[in-house]
Homo-oligomer: A and B are copies of this chain.
Amino acid sequence: MITSHHSLLFAFVPRPSITEERRRQILEAAAGVIAERGLCEARISDVAARIGASPALILYYFPSKEALLAEALAFRDQLFFDGVEQGMEEEAGAAARLGQLIEASCPPSEPLDRPDNEWLLWLDVWTRSRHDADLSAQRARLDDLMRSTIAGIVKDGIKAGEFQKVDPDRFAILLSALIDGLAIQVLLQDPAVSASTMRDLCLDTAASQLGTSMKSLVGVAPPKRGR
């Protein structure tokens, strides 16, 4: 009875169907479109054009435009954070790790002119999370992750005697807010705030709050991608 429907049996085998790959590809394309045209102006046909397919295909893999865009934002967010965390694994000292995190949190200074900079997605995440409960939860989760990462480093640093005693949670809120606020100016290309001044200000503030020299925060490793 069951064996006669062998197709049903196969359905249980999670063969690496093209589906997952395609979905990922589409999400990537969607993220690019959002970064380029903004969330409001992102059309489903733009996404299709990016992967050289017909608009109908997009709806074959996603139930609606709404769902696609939301998932694309969430997708990118997750990637970003994976990058930040992974970029700090091997660092030993708290100061060095914090330096890396800050470094990774600054938008790249050079290729800011191209309008598909994926950092721009954050702006859309913020505006949209007001109206999308799922995205709002995701955003809160990631911000919380960011803050607890910072707080963890600070706790380690204090315990190791690298930092002076401060409230780790308070510091985490401060630093992550500072990063966000400065990133806005950088992304919007405010002439008063370049990527390097952002970096300096973050490092400076962290150093002064934690009682460390700024030098000890600056690592030697190449900058990683991140928020």
Contacts and interface: CB of A to CB of B under 8 A. Distances in A.
Interface of A: 37-41, 115, 120, 123-124, 126-131, 136, 139-140, 143-144, 147, 169-170, 173-174, 176-182, 184-185, 188, 190-193, 197, 201, 205, 208-209
26 contacts: A39-B40, A40-B40, A120-B130, A123-B126, A123-B127, A123-B130, A126-B184, A130-B188, A140-B191, A143-B192, A144-B190, A144-B192, A147-B192, A169-B192, A173-B185, A173-B197, A174-B178, A174-B201, A177-B178, A177-B184, A177-B201, A180-B181, A180-B184, A181-B181, A181-B182, A181-B184
A190 B140 contact: yes
A183 B217 CA distance: 27
A158 to B, nearest CB: 18
Contacts of A143: 185, 190, 192
A136 B188 CA distance: 8
Count of chain copies: 2
Give me the 8 closest cross-chain CB pairs, A-B, nearest first. Answer: A181-B181, A177-B181, A180-B181, A40-B40, A177-B182, A123-B127, A127-B127, A123-B126
Nearest to A126: B123
Contacts of A120: 130
Contacts of A191: 140
B193 A173 contact: yes
Q: Which of A147, A180, A205, A208 is most buried by chain B, counting CB atoms within 10 A of its CB?
A: A180
